[in-house]
A and B are shown apart, each in its own frame.
Chain A
Amino acid sequence: MTNAVDIENVSLVFGGEGNNPVLAVDTINIAIPKGQFVAIVGPSGCGKTTVLNMLAGLIPPTAGSVQRNGKEVDGPSRDVGYMLARSALSPWRTALRNIEMGLQIHGVDKATRRERAHELISLLHLDGFENSYPSQLSQGMRQRVAIARTLAIDPDLWLMDEPFGALDAQTRLTVQGEFINLWERSGESSVIFVTHDLEEAVLLADRVIVMTARPGRIKSDTIIDLPRPRVIDELRFDDKFKEAEHRIWKELRDEII
């Protein structure tokens, strides 16, 4: 079976000619089987967003090959959902119409996309806020709308760039729970989840990849062998969880301290 993602010997240099080039990503290799939930952690500026941008087809690698489902990535794809670190909602669209945006771009008819958007509204507990503009929503609600917008197109690869970074601890726990439910019921979707928060990475993911400080290389790659479905608010106090988090923390600590 082909992998969802194959990143082979990929390097990326910013600002090639002229002003001093920056090596952002240095010869990384990541293979992700279909249906896997991978978290990437690493110090700020180590190239996590850059890796997602390459997978989303926004920037080509300087060297190496980036493949999805066995095919070289050569531009944005309808099967990839990319959620940026900032919620980046259109201020002139209501919550509902923000969620519909991807479907609209894909040319899905109005009735179908409305139905899909309503479905996500209730899955993410946004009922009653369909017609609110982003400025009228709380931070957590905006983040939920951005998740819904990313998933409305039914992507088979979910690229999530610090999706919950701006949320307070309690809200984050709720939204994490909603997110993991959505993924668990989605079947074969693969997730690459970038985060600063190691606890979040271990709670949610099947596998945690630690990147080194710039230039970004793979420092460690650890399978998290915790059963699913996970009840994340309880799992936080589980000994196996704590042990896994501690093990990865030792790797990460060298990079950030």
Chain B
Amino acid sequence: MKSSDTSSAEPSNDETDNSQIYASQSEGSESGRFDMSSIVEVPRWQRILKAIDLPVQFLRIGLLVLIIWAWESRWIFKGWSPFGFELFPEIIPLFQGVPSEAWDFILDIWDDSTFWADFWVTLQEALLGFVIGSGLGFIVGLLLGSFKKVAKVLSPFLIFTNAVPKIALAPILILWYGVDIASKVALATIIVFFIVQIPVQAAVSGVDPDLDVVATSMGATQFQKFRYVVIPGILGPLFGALRLSSIYSILAVVLGEFIVSKRGLGQRLLYETNNFGMGKAIALITILAGLALVFNAIIGMMERRFLRWQDTEARGKVVSL
């Protein structure tokens, strides 16, 4: 594993990892044999320190301070027009929002019950859209991947439906499902469905056919083959799709709320922007990003739990070098 790949390097630094061992050089060489007792496990605090990687943290914090400073001082709103080409337009003060305003707003809304009502609406829409869309996408992907005849019949329909820019359906969905949460859930469901269905269907074909032969020769039923061969075999691509879906479900519901809605963070964001409450808008955008990150982190935790064997596969390779 390369140290630059921090996201995949982190799981290998948990406490069950015993691959990071080293031998103290001074011992064990006299007999001409490697002395296994000279293997010392790296102390826990050293491993934690290595996982934290202080220089990287310092650089990150430095960069963050720099960004906030450039923003708070309104330097970024000055505009920049190299060679007379207006690459970054100058922003008039009315349209400017700075982090301190956003921060004040966040402190305010903390005990504002209408904010939490909006938050809950958006969270509900996104969760429902995510669960229904990825659930259906998983089932349909699994079935189409397994039953090639059905997939053949349906493929032109699915290709066309997928080619539709889904957000173009939003106004229609609002007419059909109303201005409340159902229309936003529907939009998120449709977007998430394809994000999951397509890779799952492809992954089913990618499962090692030998494993299927082994299971068949042992007399496995179709259901047992799903359970013991297909589903474990597609978990990798499935989790990749779920991570993406978690972010797109939020995107979909915010967009739906922009169009028409009574409640929700997207609706609130549009309102604040239209009334030049730029600090508030920035705060709301940050909250939405935070929500997406939490979704993503929960899925990441499940992924590490279910794909532990892939982690060890990577470790096994490193050790055998």
Contact = CB atoms under 8 A, between A and B. Distances in A.
Contacts of B233: 92
Contacts of B214: 82, 84, 88, 101, 149
Given A58-B213, A92-B232, A104-B228, A76 B313 contact: no
B309 interface: yes
Nearest to B312: A133
Nearest to B217: A82
Contact of A102 (B210, B218, B232, B316): B218
Interface string B222-236: 001000110011010
Given A80-B217, A105-B219, A105-B224, A90 B316 contact: no
Interface in A90-132: 90-93, 101-102, 104-106
Interface residues of B, number: 23
Given A88-B208, A90-B211, A105 B218 contact: yes
A86 B217 contact: no
A251 B177 CA distance: 78
A136 B232 contact: no
A78 interface: yes
A56 interface: yes
A54 to B, nearest CB: 12
B139 interface: no
Interface in B149-174: none
State which size class the interface on A falls in. 20 to 34
A104 B313 CA distance: 24
B215 interface: yes
Contacts of B220: 105
A135 B317 contact: yes
Contacts of A133: 309, 312-313, 316
B312 A135 contact: yes
Contacts of A93: 309
Contacts of B232: 90, 92
B211 to A, nearest CB: 6
- SS of A interface (majority): loop
A58 B216 contact: yes
B309 to A, nearest CB: 4
B297 to A, nearest CB: 23
Contacts of A82: 214, 217-218
A153 interface: yes
Contacts of B235: 92
A101 B210 CA distance: 14
B17 to A, nearest CB: 14
A76 B218 contact: yes
Contacts of B218: 76, 78, 82, 101-102, 105-106, 153
Interface in A130-179: 133, 135-136, 149, 153
Contacts of A78: 218-219
Contacts of A153: 218
Residue picked from A88, A105, A106, most chain B C-beta under 10 Å: A105
Nearest to B235: A92
A82 B232 CA distance: 22
Contacts of A88: 208, 210-211, 213-214
B211 A76 contact: no
Residue picked from B208, B232, B310, B312, most chain A C-beta under 10 Å: B312
A102 B214 CA distance: 9
Contact of A76 (B217, B228, B229): B217
A77 interface: yes
Interface in B278-321: 309-310, 312-313, 316-317
B309 A105 contact: no
A88 B235 CA distance: 18
Residue picked from A58, A91, A153, most chain B C-beta under 10 Å: A91
B217 A58 contact: yes
A106 B224 CA distance: 10
Contacts of A58: 213, 216-217
A136 B228 contact: no
Interface string B172-199: 0000000000000000000000000000
Given A88-B213, A101-B228, 13 more contacts: A57-B217, A76-B216, A76-B217, A82-B214, A82-B218, A84-B214, A90-B232, A92-B233, A92-B310, A105-B215, A105-B219, A135-B313, A136-B316
Interface of A: 56-58, 75-78, 80, 82, 84, 86, 88, 90-93, 101-102, 104-106, 133, 135-136, 149, 153
Which 4 residue pairs are nearest across A and B when measured between Cβ atoms?
A88-B210, A135-B313, A82-B217, A136-B316
24 contacts: A56-B217, A58-B213, A58-B217, A75-B219, A76-B216, A76-B219, A77-B219, A78-B219, A82-B217, A84-B210, A88-B208, A92-B233, A93-B309, A101-B218, A101-B228, A105-B218, A106-B218, A135-B312, A135-B313, A135-B316, A136-B312, A136-B313, A136-B316, A153-B218
